[in-house]
Amino acid sequence: MSTIVIDTCAGEEQGREALAAAAIASLDLDVQMVVVGDEDEITSILDGLAHDAERLRVVHAADPLPDNVDPRDIREAAPHSSIAVGLELTARDPDAIFVSAGQPAAIVSLALQTLGRLPGVDRAALAAVYPTLRHRGPNDDPFALLLDVGATIECTSEHLLRFAAMGAAYASKISSVDRPRVGLLANGSSPATAPERVREAHRSLSGRDLPFEYIGLLRGDQVTHGEADVIVTDGFSGDVLVRTLEGVAATADALIQRAEARFKWRLGVQMLGGGIAKLREFTDWENYGGAPLLGLDRPVIVTQANSGVRAFVNAIRLGAKMQRLGVIAAVAEAVATSAAALSEEEES
């Protein structure tokens, strides 16, 4: 049985939503919940929530995260913060998964200091899913994977190669795609205009026998078409891209609401009601849980700071699924296989 360690000091309503999700998971999912946060507060909130106390353990950790501290120094500055304590618990239990809506930089930094890295991985990647037009795999999954979206801001071509292997292994397990299609994010389909690290990564990946299918360089507008199952980029560009996609979806939603406010347009919007609801469902990030941090020996899932109950429950489900399908072992194997394939080709 998976153990889900959940940080209840972050998320909507000061972590209340995370706690509500933990309560729901304790009732509905076959998982062991460990909720980390202010025990006194957690107990008083739990009193009003239907939950299964047999499947829920509370661990006290009430140090607030200090402001204006370098993420690398948080461990020393706040050793009893919910993120630090939660990751310590995760490190001690091989079946544990950590879920948090805390500051991504703090989570990434503390996770790298507390958890083990997979062999051959020196940088972790935060992988976000985004909706695409093309569906994939036997489950008809309507989303593709984008990594890195903020864990490693400065990347070398080596890092991009590792990210490609990790992302492909993750997509292959989660969406059951045999040979995921992997692309590198660039500003055109020709490598000539791409930055050096992207050109090098493209050269290394092209024409190689790898556990995934490399489809080349992809422009930003090709991302949402779904041509690739996995898009690889550095943390800076990935973060900008994923937030742009979220911003576009939020703006579209705001425009629909504005249209509803006009009397003449209201009828038309009403007639399109079913389609609009589907569109909202499709672009609603809460449906996709959170972003897994790949490259570590335990699953870590980072959810958005304004995550509600649904986002947390989906993140918990995702974590349990990762554990059940052995995603971490698959990622480790893919990194090793890809590294061997790339070095063999280079030697020959």
Partner 1 sequence: MSDWIGSGHLLHLRWDLDKTYLRTDFDSVKDLIKTYRQKAEDKVAIVGARSLMQALLDPHERRKRRVTFISGSPTQMRAVLTRKLRLDGIEPDLFILKPNLSNILSGRIRSIRGQVGYKLSALMRSYVAATDLDELLFGDDAEQDAFIYSLYADILAGRVDAVQLASILGACKLYRAEVDEVMALHGRLFGSGDAVRRIFIHLEARSPLDRFAPYGARVVPVYNYLQAALVLHQGEVLRARDIVSVIEAMSVAGYTPARLANSVQDLVRRGVVAVADVERLAGELAAVETTRGRTVSTFIQRLRSTVADLQHVRRKSPEWLTEINYLGLYHSARFRRTRHRFFGIPLLD
Contact positions vs partner 1 (CB under 8 A): 1, 27, 32, 39, 43, 46-60
Beta strands 141-147 and 230-232, pairing class = parallel
| Residue 93 vs 260, nearer CB to partner 1 | 93
CA dist 179 → 99, 308, 321, 340 (Å): 28, 34, 20, 18
Beta carbon nearer to partner 1, 59 or 240: 59
Q: Rounded to the nearest whole angstrom, what is the least distance from the CB of residue 309 to partner 1 in the complex? A: 12
In the complex with partner 1, the residue whose CB is nearer, 1 or 277, is 1
Side chain identity, residue 36: V
> Which residues, listed in sequence order, are joined to residue 300 by a DSSP beta bridge?
98, 293
The owner of tokens 């607030």 is: 64
- Within 13 Å of residue 87, how many CA atoms lie on the same side as its CB? 26
The least CB distance from residue 46 to partner 1, in Å, is 7
Nearer to partner 1, 63 or 246 (CB): 63
Q: Which is nearer to partner 1, 54 or 209 (CB)?
A: 54
Please count the CA atoms within 13 angstroms of the CA of 97 that sit on its side-chain side.
31
Residue 216 C-beta: closest distance to partner 1, Å: 49
For residue 34, what are its two tokens?
Answer: 């460990």
State in angstroms the smallest separation of the CB of 108 from partner 1.
27
CB of 150 to partner 1, least distance (A): 33
3-state DSSP assignment of residue 61:
coil
